[in-house]
Amino acid sequence: MCDRIENNCSFTFSSHGAFPYPDVHHSLFALPSGLEMVTCSRQEGMLCVALLSTQPVSHCPACGSAATRIRSRYQRRLTDLPSTGQPVRVLLTVRKFFCDMPTCPRKIFTGRLAPFVAPSARMTARLFQMIQIIGLATGGRLGVRVTDPMGIQTNRHTILRRIMALHAEPVGHVPQIGIDDFSFKRGRTFGTLLVNMQTHQVVDVLADRKVETSAAWMASHSEIELVSRDRGGDYASAAATGAPQAVQCADRFHSMKNLREALEGCLARHLATKRATRKPKKQSTHTVLLSMPLDRSDVHRRLSIFNRRIERNAWPVMSR
């Protein structure tokens, strides 16, 4: 990727391959200490930067001891934040160290560059954070519409994975909770959603909607005073078992549904009583005449009268 340098590259290099002014390129690309820029070129519409790790000491991720003996080097290909609207690709050369602790099960490890890039990551930490911010503000599909003009090459699935990688905040003090089920996969897999009724924020998501799972979660929060739930018996049993001190009530939707059903029953009873007490009306003469059978001559007479009335009241046809 970055193994060649174009002839029109605007940077100058010293005889040993590094920049003669280290402070300039460190401030330009905001590189942390322990990294040196070796080359920089523009290839196929992207900016390729070769970096070299110069850390003399690295700490073992297993035992935490400092290691100074270098075993070998290898290269990592990373994606960084765009520069002047151009995608940036980084070819990072890192060191492998020997762990000299005899009790450590890990004898060889790769030097960590945690402020700049996470272990085994394919993008820098600052690009990771930028995609998370865009994803939280816009979402998956809309996020791609924002990242494309910025020069960040990603897709909606990557944006959603970066959002899911965010660490969940601790639940904290929740005196009033709302509990209801939702579908991971419609009609097949269901879970339980727990909401803080004071802040209207989701505090936790349970993997299923079993009574035992919900009761165990409520039992771990003794501060619960109110449980808002649906009319099902599962969450009622879970609240009675896990939070017996809490008051149970129906949520807003089911409260309105209960009111509607009670009102319908009340109106139906009053209507039935009114219909039962209503006196039957006397049959009018017109109704009696209509109910009487008519002979054929009378039918023809009435049809002729009806046709004459239609012809008399018809609109005249305008000639063109």
- CA torsion through residues 10, 11, 12, 15, sign: negative
Element (H, E) at 92: strand 86-98
Percent of the chain surpassing pLDDT 90:
24
User: pLDDT class for 1, splitting at 50, 70, 90?
Assistant: very low
Evaluate if residue 161 carries a pLDDT over 80: yes
Smallest CA-to-CA distance from 84 within 8, 141, 29 is with 29
Rounded Cα distance between 135 and 149, Å, is 15
User: pLDDT class for 4, splitting at 50, 70, 90?
Assistant: very low
CB atoms within 10 A of CB 9: 12
Question: What tokens appear for 106 in the block?
Answer: 């890990």
CB atoms within 10 A of CB 48: 21
Residue type for position 261: E
Smallest CA-to-CA distance from 202 within 214, 192, 217 is with 192
- Strand residue runs (E) in 186-229: 189-196, 201-206, 226-229
pLDDT tens profile 87-127? 889 999 999 999 999 999 999 999 888 888 988 889 999 99
Average pLDDT, the chain: 81
pLDDT tens profile 124-138? 999 999 999 999 888
Smallest CA-to-CA distance from 90 within 104, 100, 78 is with 78
| Residue 315, pLDDT score | 57
Rounded Cα distance between 52 and 145, Å, is 34
Evaluate if residue 186 carries a pLDDT over 70: yes
| Residue 296, pLDDT score | 67
Of the candidate ranges 156-170, 178-192, 230-244, 299-313, the one whose mean pLDDT is the lowest: 299-313
Span 219-229, average pLDDT:
90
| Residue 226, pLDDT score | 92
CB atoms within 10 A of CB 33: 10
pLDDT tens profile 265-291? 898 888 888 888 876 665 555 555 555
User: pLDDT class for 237, splitting at 50, 70, 90?
Assistant: very high
User: pLDDT class for 19, splitting at 50, 70, 90?
Assistant: very low
Q: How many residues does the chain have?
A: 320
